Amino acid sequence: MNDLHLRSDIMVYSADQQLQLLVEVKARPLHPVNELDLEWSYEVRSEYGHFDCYFLLVTPERMLLFTPGELGKGSEVFSADSTAVLSRQLDTNRFPLRQLDGVELASLVYSWLMFTQFKSEEELLADPNQQWVVKLGLHAAIFHGDIQQEAA
């Protein structure tokens, strides 16, 4: 295993054990992540240098999914509202994502990925907040795969 993905919070493999997704969770990012200012997000993505798999950067505000490929050379970035995506795993009105620490937010993302990888495409497409997982090919890449979370 490459040392570069040892730093990621979560690694997701396909059913045939090929690395498909690196997940970095930032509960307290230095800069709020929004759709207009992606510079910091690109810097975080570039640190991993593993461009042949998906990369998901999660903050309390946004989820940014980078598709496989080098930045500026084929990789696309999709942005989703973290609260909307994760609201089925946690009552986010009662427990806002901003109040979670890094371990708690990473565990929540892990739980969401566990449920997502075993749902059918039809179930995900029926939920407007989950459609992007199918449309960008992530679901097919991780379906029935293996998820590993770094120890806290």
Both tokens of 54, joined, read: 């998906």
The confidence band for 56, taking pLDDT boundaries of 50, 70 and 90, is very high
The confidence band for 26, taking pLDDT boundaries of 50, 70 and 90, is confident
Task: Output the pLDDT for position 2.
Answer: 44
Answer yes or no: are the C-beta atoms of 62 and 34 closer than 8 Å.
yes
Domain residue ranges of the chain, discontinuous segments joined by +? 3-149
Answer yes or no: are the C-beta atoms of 144 and 17 closer than 8 Å.
no
Task: Give yes or no for residue 42 having a pLDDT over 70.
Answer: no
